[in-house]
Amino acid sequence: MAGGKAKAKEAAAQATRDALARALETGALPADTRDTAKALLNRLDMPVRVAVMGLPGSGKSRVVDTMLGAPVIPDLPAGSRWPTLRLVHGDGSSTVTHADGRRETHPPGVSLIGLTKGAALIEMTRDLPSLKRLTLTEVTATLDPTAQHRAAAWAAAENDVAIWCTRAWEPLERDVWEKMPERLQVNAVLALTHRDRLRTPEGSFERLSESSGHLFDRIVMLDAARAALARHADGTTDTKLLRAAGGADLVQAVRRIIDRGRQAVLDQADVLLIRNGIDPAAAQTKAEPTKPAEDTSSDPVAAALARIGDAKPAAEPAGSDPVTEPATVAAPSKPDPSPVAASPEPAPAPDAEPAAEPEPIAEPAPKVATAPKAPPPPVPLTGAAREAIEVAAARLARVGSELAAEAEPDAAALTRRAVSEATWLADHLDEAADEAPELSPRANFAQDAADVVQLIRLEGEETGAGDALALLLQLRRALDDDLAVAA
């Protein structure tokens, strides 16, 4: 059952991607939306960029091997260390970038162990299935605080998702991470990599969650060395060992972040296509004529969101397009963790840049001050918990139908309605959690989302309708995910 749903979801995603590409190729989109469409298509087609960070000796290389599904990074002689490594899909060749800017390309089969001296960045290509979906960069720096801050700043500019590897979460690590942009913090996993050496793993996890859980999307514990051993050179995996070592938890946590970002981009693409009279499901229908695809525009909340372009703000410059710079569904105010266009030439590696005093990393001024965390993972729900979710899902579906049916939607009114419904949902789930404690994580997420919608309204009722309804769409889908597991 789950496998069938996953295949249907992937087929719908491919249909949206193909519809977007066809619309660009045939000129079916208005000129003022083509740049947005190209950016969305690029995000869907490019691998997600994942940084593996942490202090020396924190298990970064073993985490990279675990994520890639095969042992890739060889051990170096004692006293040596790898420079920053970037792993991408390819034929096995490697490119070494030196601190002075010189670059050397080496064919497949050449050992890189003797090429680390003076190197600031080594880009290794490997023909691994995982590298078709993501690129991994192991960010290396000494224990010097300035070096750590400089490397972190470089990684933040180069990547979409992060894994911070730690043995004990020392003050230097927290100081470095607190200065990272929020867009990366909410798309990051803290990996406690030496679970096997902890006297009380559960106690360590609880203390870490209380002190720093708000700085990451997830915290996982693993025995990184054992998890890496579960990945074999022939591409096979000892799944029991991987699960026992905590490697499966790490992979799942990162995959969840990547999937969330990809879905955000797909939602934006669906909205853009529907607003311009293009059915995203058409490509899927052609590919599977015997099994018509689910109409992605059938969700009433999505349909209401698609009509934002018809809403009438009080004053909007002629020719402007509300989705020229679409906001993500998972975090309306922040760039999503989905793939972005890679530069033809890599940016200077962290060790190649001149030393500088660490500073908080600047980022573009956001439209909204904060963004909700990711929804909690779905769990089986019964009794009062299931009933509360069913009531909430039905109400959001009804609201979407009402908004989509409005003959002349008003942007400010849509924003106010989104605020009202998000607040109702937060209160409803909070009250239900008194009887069904398992709903507490959902109530907290709904309250977080309601706060964000309020901020959207404060920053402009007429300009925030798209973000506000996109957040309602995210809430609706989170409820549907809960019901799918409960069924």
Residue 317 in this model has a pLDDT that exceeds 70:
no
When mean pLDDT is compared over 45-49, 200-204, 309-313, the highest value belongs to 45-49
In a domain, 99, yes or no: yes
Bigger pLDDT: 172 or 358? Answer: 172
Q: What is the mean pLDDT of the chain?
A: 78
Residue 303 in this model has a pLDDT that exceeds 80:
no
Distance CA 450, CA 452 (A): 5
Residue 46 in this model has a pLDDT that exceeds 60:
yes
Distance CA 449, CA 371 (A): 7
pLDDT band at 259 (very low <50, low <70, confident <90, very high): confident
pLDDT at 104: 92
pLDDT band at 340 (very low <50, low <70, confident <90, very high): very low
In a domain, 28, yes or no: yes
In a domain, 324, yes or no: yes
Span 435-483, pLDDT tens digits: 888 888 888 888 887 877 777 777 665 566 777 777 777 788 888 878 8
Buried b (16+ CB within 10 A) or exposed e, 36-62: bbebbbebbebbbbbbbbbbeebbbbb
**Pair type for strands 188-192 and 218-221:** parallel
pLDDT at 413: 79
Q: Are residues 318 and 336 in the same domain?
A: yes
CA dihedral sign of residues 380, 386, 391, 394:
positive
Q: Are residues 359 and 399 in the same domain?
A: no
Distance CA 376, CA 440 (A): 10
* Best CA proximity match to 399, nearest among 313, 482, 316, 471: 471
Bigger pLDDT: 309 or 252? Answer: 252
pLDDT at 159: 94
pLDDT at 486: 53
Q: Are residues 427 and 342 in the same domain?
A: no
pLDDT at 409: 65
pLDDT at 313: 40
- Helices 465-486 and 383-405 cross at an angle (nearest 10°) of 140
DSSP state of 463: T
Residue 290 in this model has a pLDDT that exceeds 50:
no
| Residue 243 phi, psi dihedral angles, 5° rounding | -70, -45
Which of 366, 386, 403 is where one domain is finished?
A: 366
% pLDDT > 90, the chain: 38
Bigger pLDDT: 45 or 399? Answer: 45
pLDDT at 328: 30
Measured from the Cβ of residue 297, the count of other Cβ atoms closer than 10 Å reads 18
In a domain, 5, yes or no: no
Q: Edge-to-edge, what's the strand order for the sheet holding 48-54?
A: 103-106, 94-98, 119-126, 84-89, 134-138, 48-54, 161-166, 188-192, 218-221
Distance CA 240, CA 250 (A): 14
What token pair was written down for 49? 């960029």
pLDDT at 370: 45
pLDDT at 282: 62
Q: How many CA atoms lie within 13 A of 135 on its CB side?
A: 24
Domain count, the chain: 2
Which of 366, 393, 415 is where one domain is finished?
A: 366
In a domain, 2, yes or no: no
Instruction: Choose the weakest-confidence range: 38-42, 214-218, 353-357, 419-423.
Output: 353-357
Residue with tokens 């059938």: 298
Measured from the Cβ of residue 428, the count of other Cβ atoms closer than 10 Å reads 18
433 Cβ contact list (under 8 Å, min separation 6): 439, 440, 442, 443
Bigger pLDDT: 473 or 362? Answer: 473
pLDDT at 284: 54
Span 225-256, pLDDT tens digits: 999 999 998 888 999 999 999 999 999 999 98
What token pair was written down for 44? 């869907």
Q: Are residues 216 and 72 in the same domain?
A: yes
Q: Are residues 394 and 313 in the same domain?
A: no
pLDDT at 407: 60
Q: Are residues 393 and 344 in the same domain?
A: no
Residue 377 in this model has a pLDDT that exceeds 80:
no
CA dihedral sign of residues 71, 76, 79, 83:
negative
Residue 20 in this model has a pLDDT that exceeds 50:
yes
Q: Are residues 304 and 407 in the same domain?
A: no
Q: What is the CATH number of the domain that holds 313?
A: 3.40.50.300
Domain hosting 343: range is 16-366
Q: Are residues 341 and 417 in the same domain?
A: no
Q: Are residues 65 and 203 in the same domain?
A: yes
Contact call for residues 186 and 214 (beta carbons, < 8 A): no
In a domain, 9, yes or no: no
pLDDT at 443: 85
Radius of gyration in angstroms for the set of CA atoms belonging to the chain, rounded to a whole number: 23
Which of 304, 334, 366 is where one domain is finished?
A: 366
Distance CA 342, CA 322 (A): 26
In a domain, 3, yes or no: no
CA dihedral sign of residues 157, 326, 444, 389:
negative
In a domain, 4, yes or no: no
Residue 372 in this model has a pLDDT that exceeds 60:
no
Q: Are residues 156 and 189 in the same domain?
A: yes
Span 70-96, pLDDT tens digits: 899 988 877 788 899 999 999 999 999
Q: Are residues 250 and 163 in the same domain?
A: yes
Q: Are residues 200 and 246 in the same domain?
A: yes
